[in-house]
Amino acid sequence: NAVDHPRMTLRLAASQAAAGWRVGVVGLEAPEAALPPGEQALHLPAPTSGGLLARWGHLRRVASSIRQYALRVRPRLLVLHTPELAQLALELQRRLGCALWYDAHEDYVANARYSSAYPTWQRALRAFAAARAEQRLRPALAAASYAERCYGNRLGLPHGCWLTLENLFAPPATVTPAPPIGPEPLLLTCGTLADDWGLWSSLQLWSELNQTRPVHWAVVGQGAPLTLARLTAEVERLGLTQRFTGVMSTRPVAYATVVGWLQRATALTALYRPTAAIAERVPTKVFEAVAHRLPVLLTPGGPGAPLNARWRFAVEMAPPWRWADDAAACRAAAARVRATLEAGFAGLYPESVPPAVWQWSAEAGPALVALTEREIGAPEAS
């Protein structure tokens, strides 16, 4: 993960640092990153490409840097944020005698098996590697945390040694303001850029909206090289480059930049296709949108829909993944969004959403601190 990764650095590490523990964060270099108070960081070089073999080679190269850093600072608690580093984490746990905590950001096995973000030939290999890594970790774990309620206690740890820490919103230390884009409404698509995450549905909706009124579209996030190239070509083919802004990379975009665009946007697209990998999840971007009181365009019955049923922050539309083969359905969806835009999204956010629903520090932060203290003692004793 990048050294400014929202979950690793702005949620878990920041809460532990604020409670008084000395915290070190190891991640890929992020030149724009401003870390929260109390955190020190080891910036690792980013891989030169995103291929599977290149990624494996990069992991081997940076392992020695991570090992040297850990042996120097000698942590009492090692929090692992990716199964790719499982072997190194187990080695360090044995050498240092420290407690090992695994923070499961995702269901990596399901992601690899079902996600369109990976080439088909890689999916079985990635799923096997993720499952194997988690199996090896389990006997050595003192604690685990999960980013989604639907993951339950997947690793089967004893009561009191695990908890769910949803990806509730925690602001970055600084925000990079998005540039002005003109008077037209701004649709934002951010995060993972892939089919199942609604990228092409967002493109179709935006294109249809522009048949009757100017609407700008900003795409801010990380995607595969072929996906980014295809998106750029499609925007050019549509003749809409003047109404498009792409802050896109094969590496994670700085979180300060993402939040800057969230603050600028008129509405956020979250047109997920509810595959077996993501059907019951609540995407981070949903909590980010609610934190900014930002209207969301959502898939009915998909990720985030149960939360919307209670708090009504989103417009839910007919299954977006069908629009590619059903132009009439896409036109109907665009007409609905157009009318909602002209009405100023009246009817959304009929009541204030309590911070406990969307804010990290309201509930998740104290739970994290309590489990940390159980494993290594109070900050003054560590």
| Long-range own/partner contacts, residues 22-31 (CB < 8 A, 24 or more apart) | 22/382, 24/69, 24/73, 24/75, 26/66, 26/69, 27/1, 27/2, 27/3, 28/1, 28/2, 28/3, 28/251, 28/252, 29/2, 29/3, 30/2, 30/3, 30/4, 30/252, 30/254
> Collapsing DSSP states into helix, strand and coil, what is residue 138?
helix
Name the DSSP class of 31: T
Output DSSP code: residue 20: T
Tens of each residue's pLDDT in the chain, 382 residues? 888 899 999 999 999 999 999 999 999 887 667 788 888 888 888 776 656 666 767 777 888 899 999 999 999 999 999 988 999 999 999 999 999 999 999 887 777 777 666 666 676 777 777 788 889 999 999 999 999 999 999 999 999 999 999 999 999 989 999 999 989 999 999 999 999 999 999 999 999 999 999 999 999 999 989 999 999 999 999 999 999 999 999 888 999 999 999 999 999 999 999 888 888 899 999 999 999 999 999 999 889 999 999 999 999 988 898 898 899 999 999 999 999 999 999 999 999 999 999 999 877 889 999 999 999 999 975 4
Predicted pLDDT of residue 140? 96
The pLDDT value given to residue 50: 58
Task: Count Cβ atoms within 10 A of the Cβ of residue 339 and give its class: 0-12 exposed, 13-18 middle, 19 or more buried.
Answer: exposed
Amino acid at 160: G
- d(CA 382, CA 377) in angstroms, rounded, equals 7
Return the pLDDT at 344: 94
* The overall pTM is greater than 0.75: yes
Q: What is 51-94 written as a DSSP string?
A: -HHHHHHHHHHHHHHHHHHHHHH--SEEEE--GGGHHHHHHHHH
pLDDT of residue 51: 62
Torsion angles phi and psi, residue 78, rounded to 5: -115, 115
Alpha helix positions (H), 225-359 = 225-238, 255-264, 284-291, 305-311, 327-342, 355-358
CA distance 342 to 119: 40
Q: Which ranges constitute the DSSP H helices of the chain?
A: 14-19, 52-73, 86-96, 108-114, 120-137, 199-209, 225-238, 255-264, 284-291, 305-311, 327-342, 355-358, 360-376
Half-sphere exposure of 139 (CA within 13 A, CB side): 4
Cβ contact 248:221 at 8 Å: yes
